[in-house]
Every structure is written in C-alpha cells, then in structure tokens.
Amino acid sequence: MNAHAPLTAFENERGLEIRQERGQRAVFCGLTGIVWLHRKIQDAFFLVVGSRTCAHLIQSAAGVMIFAEPRFATAIMDERDLAGLADMNDELDAVVGRLVARRPEIKLLFLVGSCPSEVIKLDLSRAAQRLSRSLAPDVRVLSYSGSGIETTFTQGEDACLASLVPEMPAEAANAETSLLVVGALADVVEDQFARIFSEMGIGPVRFLPARRAGAMPPVGENTRYLLAQPFLADTARALEERGATRLAAPFPLGSEGTTGWLKAAADAFGVAAGRFEAATAPGLRRAEQALAPYRAMLTQRRVFFFPDSQLEIPLARFLSREMGAKLVEVGTPYLHRGHLDREMALLPRGTRIVEGQSLDDQMDRCRQARPDLTVCGLGLANPLEAEGLATKWSIELLFTPIQGYDQAGDLAELFARPLVRRTRLEV
Amino acid sequence: MQLTVWTYEGPPHIGAMRVATAMRGLHYVLHAPQGDTYADLLFTMIERRDARPPVTYTTFQARDLGSDTAAIFKDAVAAAYERFRPEAMIVGASCTAELIQDDPGGLAKALALPIPVIPLDLPAYQKKENWGASETFYRLVRTLCGPKAETVGKAGRRPSCNILGPTALGFRHRDDLVEIRTLLDALGVDVNVVAPLGASPADLGRLGEADFNVVLYPEIARAAGQHLQKTFGQPMVETVPIGVAATIRFVEEVAAVAGVDPAPVLSGAPSRLPWYSRSVDSTYLTGKRVFVFGDATHALAAAQIAATELGFKVVGLGSYAREFAREIRAEAALHGIEATITDDYLEVEAAIQASAAELVLGTQMERHIAKRLGLPCAVISAPIHVQDFPARHSPQMGFEGANVLFDTWVHPLMMGLEEHLLGMFREDSEFHADAAPSHLGPGHQPLPPPSAGEGGPRVSEGRERGAPVPERSPPLPPAPQAPSPAEGGGSSGSAHSTWAPDAEKELKKIPFFVRGKARANTERFARERALPLITVETLYDAKAHFGR
C-alpha cells in the first residue's frame, strides 16, 4: 500500500492500454537473483549483508539447493553492528576474511546490499574497494544492491551485471565489430545461440556474464549488444557508457521472438538473407513441430499475468501470437518502454498492461475476469487454485531454459501443463 | 555480524505471522519493504494453505523513504480494516521498518479503529521466529483474555481446559491437536478454547472460562499460559505428551488437575510402541547410537523416547533454541554427554561426525547432513519441508503419536530380520561383496564429509578399496571414541603395523559386516602399543580389549 490511492494514468501507445498502479506488491526482492546467478558464474560468491529475514528469504527461494555447498551466504547484522558504523566495517572485513579462508577457490566476491544495509547507509562500494585492495590479486570484490526497496526480483541480476560492466576489459579501438549477448542464460541455450551465430558467420560472439570471473568479455565502441532478457535497464546503460550499441530486438522467447532476435544481429552484421534462412530453418522447423501439440490446448484460453519478472510482456506476446491465447491483463513490475518497444508492437490492440501493483485490487480484477490461466507467484498460486482458477507459478520461468527455438516447445508446455492437469483430475 | 548459510529460525515477524495465520478474524499489518511478502509462500506452499495469510504488507520502496512512510503505514491499516473487517488487528515492523523508526502502534492508535489494535514490538536484530510467535501470542492473550470469569460451581458439569500453542507452520500441530482432543475427551474434560490455531479474537476473550490450561508447545505458549495462571489462577499442564511415558504422565497430570480418573484412558494397550519395541525383531535396535537435534520440545522428548522406549544410546543432543538451553543441558547430562546448543548447522554437522552416530533425528537440515554422511535419518522437528506436512494423519503426540514415532524412526534403519539375513547370506555368490547393507541401494555412495579434509573419516575410501562400510551398527563393541580414519578397511591407520598373513586370514573369517570395525580396532590397538606386526594373537587381544 505504498500510495494513498492507486494511480490510474492511461496511455495510448499502439492501441495498448497502459496503466500504472501503486499499492501493496507481492513480489520478490532482487536478492533472489543470487539463486540462479551463482550457478552461472562458477567462481563467484555472493555475500548478502543484511538481516535474518534476508537469510530466510534466500533459503526459502533456494530450497534444497542450499546444501550443495552453495556459493552464497548472509552476513547477518545484529544489534551490536547497528550501534556504530566503524565497528560494522571491521565486522564485515572479519566475515569476509573467514569466508575467503574457507572457500579459497572463490575469485570474485559480490557484497550484496539489502534493505537494512541500504537504510543504515552502510557503504558497501567502499567496503568492496577496501577488500579488493587487501585481497588482491586472488579475489576481486564488487558490490551491488539486491534490496527490496530498490530492486524487484530479476532486477537483482540487472544490478549484478551492471556492477560487472566497469570490470570488463576495454576492447581495442580497431577491434572488429563484436556481438555481446547480455543476460544469464542456461548454458545449453547459450551454446545453441553460439552455434547459430557461428553458422551465420557472426563473430566474435561473447556472453555477459561469462561462466568464469576472470573471463568477462571486452567492451568498446565496436561492441553491438543484444539483450537476452528484458530486465537489464541499468546494465544496458552501463554498456552504453562504455561505447557499446544496443541492437533493438524482441526477446528470444518462442519461435517468432527467437527469429526476430537473431535477425537483429544478422542485420547489424550484414548477413545475407539466404544465409540467415539456412541458419535458422532447422530451428524454426523443430520449434514449429514442438509447438503444434500445445496450440490446441492454449488457443482462445484467457490468460492473466500478475507482475513478477518483467518477462510478462514477451511471454504474453508469445502466448497470444504463437499459441492463440487471449490476454486479459499483463502485469509487469516495471516497464522499460525502450527495451520493450519491439515487443509491444507485436501485442494485440487493446491489450491491458499494468505496471506496478495494488495486490488486493488486482486480485479482485482477476477473480472477476475468471481467466483460464493465471500466471502468478507462489504466494498467490494455491489460494487462487482454491478459488477454482488454474495457475502457472511464474518463478519456474526463471529456472527453466525457455529461450531459443529448441526450448519453444518446453515453454508452451509450462503453460499447457496446469490446464492438462485439470482435465485429468477427476477428484 | 554472523556468517550464515542456513538459519534454523526466521526473524520474529515470521513467528507473528504463524500466530496470525493460525487464527480467524485477526489481521496483521506489517510495515515492511517490498520483497518481504516472500513469507507468504511458506504458508501457501510448505503448509499448502488454500488462502493467503491474513497479512497486509506496506511494501515500501526506496522512493517512499524520502516521503512519508508513516502515512503509507496508516493508509495500509485503514485499507486493511475496510477490506477485511477483522475483529482485531496486530501491527508491527519487520527488520527494515524497525530501522526507519515509524511507530506502528502509535500510528494505528491514531486511526481510532473500533476494534482492538495490538502493537507488537519484535526486536528483529536480537530475537527469532519462536520468540516472535510466543511474544505475539502472549500480547494477544494479555489484551483480549477479558475479565476474570465468574466462578461457576463445578458441580454438574465436566471440567474444561484451553489448549495453547498450536500455530500455522507448526510441525504436526494439526494432528497433535486431534490426538490431544481425543485424550481429553476420553478423560471427560471439555476443550474450552484452542489457540492460536483456529481461534478468533472473541475466543481469546473466553479463555478465562476454562478450569486449567494445557500448554502443548512451551516455546510458543508458555508465556501466555503463565499469564493466564497469574490472571485467572488457572493451573497449567506443561508436560509435553510425546512418547508413551510422557503421554501417561500427561494424562495423569490432566486427570489430577481436572479431578477425574485417568485409569480408563490408560488401561489396555493404548499404544503399540511398547510391544513393538519388546518384540524380538527390535533387539537389533539396542544401543544404536543416535544423535538428536531440533527445537527444545521435540529434542527433549526424542532423547527420552530414544533412550527409554526404543533402547537406543543417545550420543548427541542439541537444540537451536537458546531459550531452552538449560533444559537441554540437563537432559544431555542424564545421557552422559554435552549438549550442542547452536544455530550454526556447520557446528551441528561437526558434532554429528564426532559422535559417530548411526541414526540422526533432527530437522530438515540434519536430514541433508545425514544424507551427505550416508547416515539414516528421521525428521522430528521444524524447520521442515513440504513433505513433513503430510496428507495422512501423523501426530507426534499421544499414543497414536508414539506409534508414528516408532515407525518413522525405525524405518530408515533396516528391519532386524532383514539385516540379519542379508548378513548371513552376504558371502553367497548372489550377493555382491560391495553392496551396502542398506535400503539406500547398491548405487548409493555416501559423499565424503565436507570438512573432513584434515584427517576426518572419509567414508568413501574404504569403498574404493572394495571393503564393506559398516553403515549399520554391527553387534560388536562400538568404538568408544570417534571412528579412526581406518574405519571402513582403509590402510591409512596401519602405517606402523603390518598384518601377518595368518592374522589376515583369520580376519577374513569374521563376518563381513563387523570386519571393518574389527580391522580398525585391531589396528588402533596395535598402534597404541606400537606393535609392528599384527598376529592372530593381536587380533584376539584387541577383541578382548574393546569387548564389552
């Protein structure tokens, strides 16, 4: 309820109804990004500086993963720490010292800010500089904020990647034009994209984040970058400050999105039409084959998205254009109009997009609309199911490989499964 | 600052949520930043509740901090009242809101709502989840329990009691309640109010009408029970009825307080545990080394049951509940061990390794530690995961609870007869010498313990050499100290003594499932005496030395 009354600013862009709403928000904070980021950068460690609540959140989000010697932890502040700031920096240094001694394989340490550390204005960027100096050359220390007051769920990845950008080596001024794919993707998806780019003759192609801390890609005036995820506003800005140029594209979800995304790179690198088609044809054919069985299950189904990850608009585009679904409401925690321009152009006229949230009001709208499928977080899913609404819990869309041609069928299946299940259960 | 990977307890406002979610007609407005709503999914996913917890979060963001977060809070309280029309509200701050120092109690009071609004002061940087639940329940009871009820003559009516303690997200609270209600009913005692689970604020107003209180979970309800004792003079039964003996004690205490006869309830064989435990198949349970860890209520009960009702040997006992450290230490002393009072799971892991336990009874965390160490394990306490909110009836308390405990704890150990037969036929050609004597299956390879780098027991070493690993207790003398590195048949401990060929041959005559331990004991015996050569004599000298 962080506004006295919901704002109802309407806007017309390509016939879309875009509305902003403020109020109670049922969303994760940016700390949650750690759960998938730590698996991507294999020699990085994420140390949250926060409260017991932060530690509890991460363990709830990480579930069973927490026991596989995870590369994340929380330095829990206690009352003693809150007494004086000087003491707190010493405490932090001691915690980091213990951690580095225990985990000598760690090359990159992220100090991750939380709501409590932001509110008391503990300067983690200074702490990171200080610790970087004392731990050099073995460990590099960076900082970013994953706090709920500043970041929503996937924005934690944005903040993390943005903190990496100044660390990227400078590309030589006369370097050949290179392609940078930005956003953590499953390794299997990354490899598929690398193969397709290579068949199109695009190169060099690099990925941010890299799989190892010491192998972050170079960046400079000759870098063209493609966002693989829609939630990377700050990372994009930081890359542009280093001279890189964004290639406008839809996001690589579904067969159409993937083609549009690859085409943006092909056009920028002057790939001939015939070569582009040759490189994408097998993927397109397989995607079409994989999607076909789910189309019958999803066509004309009315879908309602609660805000969660900023993936909602590309997912809505995929469901409506490729699967024939109808969009009741597309909630998103934050709408980057520039990055989502190509996506919004593909949405059907009249689509209602709601940026932000007033939870109880949105639940009222959802109940009233009685959609066939509601995409929402785990706090809402079972309560809505109990009210008779079929739901798809959204966090799975971050942990499952869904991008690219060869995952298009898996993506459709994620939405079809709850509907199929409903038809099977007779009790 | 404390370095933490896993926490046994959440922050105190989670405890308050457990109380609010357990109740009806109560709403909690929590001043908290965006993101703290993650706690909802503990209730909707782990406990599989079919409704959102009755909690409104202010979910303020950075841009709100410059303006008036206090106004946001007031608006949230007003809007929640309008929408949910609760009978009473609780208001408070999470850890971040505690730092920005808005005053939830004062702000809510200024709204002058026509219902009781109870402010909670939960110090997030000092206290934890169970304390938060206890404090919240105590505040609710203190505010709402009403004036002292008129003393109605006892004649002509059944005695009545309140049941205090069950909450949302409680380990088996739902089913424990069923058992306790059944026991009380059989005794002829009426239940006045159960709280917090299922109670409304109005129900709390009727607490004074009962003759006495039953406190099921002291970490949550002791404070409230003490308050009622002081206010209404209601006696308090605080014996936790987990296990057969404790349940009998509980029934006798309730009967004494209520002035009824316990005999009909205790007659016959109300639990199958005593017979199952006496049946010969359970003989192999004798002296099994068990490590117990959990919240105070369940750890204390489990240690007593393990030792006196199943015949285990308690080789480790601990709890993350510092509030109950004294009780835990006293119980540990009865077993001749030192208690492990810690909320650091790495310390628990080290203690489990050092104890050379054969069965671990603990929380979700100990389940994972045990899995890593290749040890059998059963869950006895929160924190727990979704599988420990089962669909079937599975109480811990009462006589049926004792049946459940017997099955749950014995199941991960192999049944005695099965173990015996496997051992007898082990050297027959059908049986692979390397197959683990365990239900875990032939593919199971226990992971090397994580911090065993410096000479800790590395269970997998013996496996690589093809020697069987004694994962179960053999009916031979257990090593009194921590297992030597050579346990499992490794040669690292025999650096100073070699086996004479005839001694080696003699060793092979010992049944495989105790051979590893015999080898280890013999080598240690030789090492301690600096014997360069292990002969048949040494083998039997060692057996005699380590024998019972």
The contacts of residue B112 (CB under 8 Å, 6+ apart) are none
CA B152, CA B208: separation in Å to the nearest integer? 11
CA A106, CA A112: separation in Å to the nearest integer? 16
3-state secondary structure labels for all residues of B56-68: EECCECHHHHCCC
- Hey, is the C-beta of B34 within 8 angstroms of any chain A C-beta? yes
Tell me the average pLDDT across B488-507: 68
DSSP 8-state assignment for residue A171: P
Lowest mean pLDDT among A366-375, B61-70, B247-256, B503-512: B503-512
Tell me the average pLDDT across B504-508: 86
Token code pair at residue A353: 């997009």
- Residues of chain B found within 8 Å of residue A2, distances taken between Cβ atoms: 34, 58-61, 64, 72
The contacts of residue A265 (CB under 8 Å, 6+ apart) are A179, A197, A200, A202, A224, A226, A247, A249, A271
* pLDDT (tens digit per residue) in A252-276: 999 999 999 999 999 999 999 999 9
Write down the pLDDT at residue B420: 62
Write down the pLDDT at residue A143: 98
Lowest mean pLDDT among A372-376, B330-334, B437-441: B437-441
**pLDDT exceeds 70 at position A3:** no
**pLDDT exceeds 70 at position B474:** no
Write down the pLDDT at residue B461: 35
**pLDDT exceeds 70 at position B202:** yes
Write down the pLDDT at residue B146: 80
- Residues of chain B found within 8 Å of residue A112, distances taken between Cβ atoms: none
- Hey, is the C-beta of B126 within 8 angstroms of any chain A C-beta? yes
Half-sphere exposure of B344 (CA within 13 A, CB side): 11
Helix (H) or strand (E) holding A326: strand A326-332
Residues of B recognised as catalytic: 281
CB contact under 8 A, B125 and A118: no
* pLDDT (tens digit per residue) in A38-54: 989 999 999 999 999 99
Nearest to A345 by CA among A250, A245, A233: A250
The band of A92, judged by pLDDT with boundaries at 50, 70 and 90, is: very high
**pLDDT exceeds 90 at position B324:** yes
CA B101, CA B99: separation in Å to the nearest integer? 5
The band of A210, judged by pLDDT with boundaries at 50, 70 and 90, is: very high
Write down the pLDDT at residue B208: 94
Write down the pLDDT at residue B424: 65
Token code pair at residue B396: 């811990």
Q: Estimate to the nearest angstrom the gap between the alpha carbon of B61 and the chain centroid.
A: 37
How much is the pTM? 0.87
Q: Estimate to the nearest angstrom the gap between the alpha carbon of B124 and the chain centroid.
A: 23
CB contact under 8 A, A150 and B40: no
DSSP 8-state assignment for residue A128: H
Write down the pLDDT at residue B541: 87
Lowest mean pLDDT among A9-18, A375-384, B381-390: A9-18
Q: Estimate to the nearest angstrom the gap between the alpha carbon of B547 and the chain centroid.
A: 34
CB contact under 8 A, A1 and B37: no
**pLDDT exceeds 90 at position B132:** yes
CA B240, CA B249: separation in Å to the nearest integer? 9
The band of B346, judged by pLDDT with boundaries at 50, 70 and 90, is: confident
Token code pair at residue B36: 């703290």
Long-range contacts, stretch A380-385, CB < 8 angstroms, 24+ apart: A380/A26, A380/A306, A380/B40, A380/B44, A380/B52, A381/B44, A381/B45, A382/B44, A382/B45, A382/B48, A382/B49, A382/B50, A383/B44, A383/B49, A383/B50, A383/B51, A383/B52, A385/B50
- Which of the two residues, B513 and A246, has the higher pLDDT score? A246
CA A51, CA B14: separation in Å to the nearest integer? 13
What are the φ/ψ torsions at residue B456 (nearest 5 degrees)?
-65, 165
Let me know: does B159 contact B189? Beta carbons within 8 Å: yes
Which ranges of A170-306 does DSSP label H, i.e. alpha helix? 187-200, 233-241, 254-268, 273-298
Helix (H) or strand (E) holding A61: helix A52-62
**pLDDT exceeds 50 at position B456:** no
- Which of the two residues, B416 and A168, has the higher pLDDT score? A168
**pLDDT exceeds 60 at position A117:** yes
Tell me the average pLDDT across B404-429: 75
Give me the domains of chain B, ranges plus CATH numbers. 12-133 (3.40.50.1980), 160-266 (3.40.50.1980), 273-421 (3.40.50.1980), 498-546 (1.10.8.550)
Nearest to B475 by CA among B207, B287, B301: B287
Tell me the average pLDDT across B465-473: 38
- Please give the mean pLDDT across all residues of chain A: 93
**pLDDT exceeds 50 at position B111:** yes
Q: Which of B18, B29, B34, B56 to mutate to test the interface with A (most CBs of A within 10 A)?
A: B34
**pLDDT exceeds 70 at position B155:** no
Q: Using alpha carbons, list the distances in angstroms from residue A427 to A421, A422, B46, B431.
A: 12, 10, 22, 45
- Please give the mean pLDDT across all residues of chain B: 86
Write down the pLDDT at residue A68: 61
CA B69, CA A292: separation in Å to the nearest integer? 51
Cα-only R_g, chain A: 22
For residue A381, give how far its alpha carbon lies from the nearest alpha carbon of chain B (Å).
8
- Residues of chain B found within 8 Å of residue A120, distances taken between Cβ atoms: 99
Token code pair at residue A217: 């890609």
**pLDDT exceeds 50 at position B453:** no
CA B311, CA B322: separation in Å to the nearest integer? 28
Residues in chain A: 427
For residue A8, give how far its alpha carbon lies from the nearest alpha carbon of chain B (Å).
18
Q: Estimate to the nearest angstrom the gap between the alpha carbon of B340 and the chain centroid.
A: 14
CA A58, CA B4: separation in Å to the nearest integer? 11
Write down the pLDDT at residue A5: 43
Lowest mean pLDDT among A218-232, A380-394, B70-84, B438-452: B438-452
Nearest to B13 by CA among B113, B97, B116: B97
Let me know: does B42 contact A31? Beta carbons within 8 Å: no
* pLDDT (tens digit per residue) in B27-73: 999 999 999 999 999 999 999 999 999 999 999 999 888 778 999 99
What are the φ/ψ torsions at residue B136 (nearest 5 degrees)?
-60, -45
Tell me the average pLDDT across A401-423: 96
Write down the pLDDT at residue B436: 52
Give me the domains of chain A, ranges plus CATH numbers. 7-25+291-425 (3.40.50.1980), 30-151 (3.40.50.1980), 178-275 (3.40.50.1980)
A366 is in an annotated binding site: no
Percent of chain B residues past pLDDT 70, beyond the cut: 83
Write down the pLDDT at residue B422: 67
Q: Which of B10, B41, B71 sits opposite A52 (nearest CB)?
A: B10
Let me know: does B499 contact B465? Beta carbons within 8 Å: no
* pLDDT (tens digit per residue) in A122-132: 999 999 999 99
Write down the pLDDT at residue A64: 60
Let me know: does A333 contact A310? Beta carbons within 8 Å: yes
What are the φ/ψ torsions at residue A332 (nearest 5 degrees)?
-145, 140
Token code pair at residue B360: 């671990």
Tell me the average pLDDT across A277-296: 96
Write down the pLDDT at residue B513: 66
Let me know: does A220 contact A265? Beta carbons within 8 Å: no
Let me know: does B394 contact B400? Beta carbons within 8 Å: no
**Closest chain B CA to residue A90:** B1
Write down the pLDDT at residue A102: 87
Q: What type of residue sits at position B251?
A: V
Which ranges of B356-397 does DSSP label H, i.e. alpha helix? 364-373
**pLDDT exceeds 80 at position A217:** yes
Question: Mapping DSSP to helix (H, G, I), strand (E, B) and coil, where does residue B232 land?
Answer: helix
What are the φ/ψ torsions at residue A143 (nearest 5 degrees)?
-140, 150
Q: Which of A1, A148, A377 sits opposite B56 (nearest CB)?
A: A1
**pLDDT exceeds 60 at position A20:** yes
Strands, E assignment, B216-326: 236-237, 289-294, 313-319
**pLDDT exceeds 50 at position B183:** yes
**pLDDT exceeds 90 at position B242:** yes
The contacts of residue B524 (CB under 8 Å, 6+ apart) are B479, B484, B486, B493, B542
Write down the pLDDT at residue B460: 36
- Residues of chain A found within 8 Å of residue B96, distances taken between Cβ atoms: 51, 53, 115-116, 119, 148-149
The band of A344, judged by pLDDT with boundaries at 50, 70 and 90, is: very high
Token code pair at residue A107: 């090359």
Write down the pLDDT at residue B496: 67
CA A78, CA A61: separation in Å to the nearest integer? 23
Write down the pLDDT at residue B154: 61
CA B353, CA B450: separation in Å to the nearest integer? 11
The contacts of residue B210 (CB under 8 Å, 6+ apart) are B160, B161, B162, B192, B193, B234
CA B420, CA B474: separation in Å to the nearest integer? 10
- Residues of chain A found within 8 Å of residue B76, distances taken between Cβ atoms: 1, 24
Q: What type of residue sits at position B63?
A: R
- Hey, is the C-beta of B121 within 8 angstroms of any chain A C-beta? no
Q: Using alpha carbons, list the distances in angstroms from residue B369 to A67, B345, B379, B449, B482.
A: 8, 9, 12, 9, 17
Contacts with A, B 447-476, CB within 8 Å: 450
Contacts with A, B 368-407, CB within 8 Å: 368, 372, 385
A54 is in an annotated binding site: yes
Write down the pLDDT at residue B521: 86
**Tokens 């704002």 — which residue?**
A7
For residue B367, give how far its alpha carbon lies from the nearest alpha carbon of chain A (Å).
10
Question: Mapping DSSP to helix (H, G, I), strand (E, B) and coil, where does residue B353 land?
Answer: helix
CA A35, CA A66: separation in Å to the nearest integer? 9
Q: What type of residue sits at position B6?
A: W
- Residues of chain A found within 8 Å of residue B42, distances taken between Cβ atoms: 60
